[in-house]
Structure 1
Amino acid sequence: MRTTIFGSILLIALVTGCRTIARTPVDQTLDRFHAAAARADEKIYFDCFAPEGVFLGTDATERWDVPSFRAFAHPYFSQGKGWTYTSSDRHIAMAPSNDLAWFDEMLQNDKLGTCRGSGVLRLINGEWKIAQYNLSIPIPNDHAKTVVEMIRTAAATQKTK
């Protein structure tokens, strides 16, 4: 009897443990967005944005609407140069109306290391589109004071030029 119970528990654990969790349509849009950037696929990348979409970059001056961001990215994408951010630990929440979602995700990038992406998507004609994407670099609290001082110094240097 104990063998049967143990065998049943083991079978249930194996079946449920190996089950693939379905990616939500919001996940799929974000995955498509990151994959297109890595392939330098300008069309698919910018098709992921809502018409009023905004991209906020890591620099305080980087706030781009879609046409401005496309103009910035085009020279890179046209040369086959994209950027690779590998997503992990993604969290998605949905508005009660089911037509608005917001997310945050941890990202890995060869140049910038650990980053965070966050933003808002909205459902447009049955497709999830990015209304806002915010790329940031999380700063460990123990280093925040030093980093803030570096930013202030850089800003002061920029003003004197």
Structure 2
Amino acid sequence: MIFIRSLVFITLFSPLFTWAGDKQPELPDHAVGEILDKFHHAAAEADGKTYFSLFHPEGVFIGTDAGERWTVTEFQGYAQPYFDQGKGWTYQPTSRHISISSDKQFAWFDELLWNDKYGQCRGSGTLVKTESGWRLMQYHLTFPIPNELAKEITEKIKAHTENK
């Protein structure tokens, strides 16, 4: 009798449970996080092929300097020689926020990063869903300035800019 009750229970309620080994549906924000992790890993490994493949062909990289706004092709022209020498850069994410559009075709994010040379940095940007997966449309790297230091730092930047 117990066997029959167990069989009836499993038959009636098994669609409500996920069994070990069943593939879970991919969550869009998880997929975006994986792309960003792959992006940072490729940069650290000086893997230009992977790094640039994660950009949409019309993507843009915005660096920390006011003059650093590159198309993917321009940025590849700048960075690939470093990658070819085995020189990459390491930015380790310490926190990340991802938002997905209601149609699940666009994502935007901001992340805090740690770099041994520069300390805390921030990356932000957008991704678009393509036939081949999520691709970066824009990545923007910045140095967040503590409010207490902002006036001093911005005065230095202003003086530097005026002396050019």
Above 0.5 in TM-score?
Answer: yes
Q: CA deviation at 1:85?
A: 0.2
**Matched residue type, 1:46:** F
CA distance in 1, matches of 2:64, 2:143: 7
User: Structure 1-normalised TM-score?
Assistant: 0.83
Q: 2:145 aligns with which of 139, 149, 153?
A: 139
Q: Structure 2: 5+ residue runs without aligned partners?
A: 1-26
Partner of 1:48: 54
Q: Structure 1: 5+ residue runs without aligned partners?
A: 1-21
CA distance in 1, matches of 2:37, 2:154: 32
CA RMSD of aligned residues (A): 1.1
Please give the per-residue CA displacement for 1:49-84, whole angstroms capped at 9, x wherever unaligned: 001100000000000000000000011000000000
CA distance in 1, matches of 2:98, 2:132: 18
Partner of 2:31: 25
Q: CA deviation at 1:111?
A: 0.9
CA distance in 2, matches of 1:33, 1:80: 16
Could you list the runs of 4 or more consecutive aligned residues of structure 1 that deviate by over 3 angstroms after TM superposition?
Answer: none
List aligned pairs for 1:6-85, cutoff 5 A.
24-85=30-91
1:149 aligns with 2:130: no
Q: Secondary structure at the match of 1:75?
A: helix
User: Structure 2-normalised TM-score?
Assistant: 0.82
CA distance in 1, matches of 2:75, 2:163: 26
1:104 aligns with 2:107: no
Partner of 1:12: none
Partner of 1:119: 125
Q: CA deviation at 1:126?
A: 4.3
CA distance in 1, matches of 2:93, 2:54: 16
Percent identity, aligned pairs only, is: 51
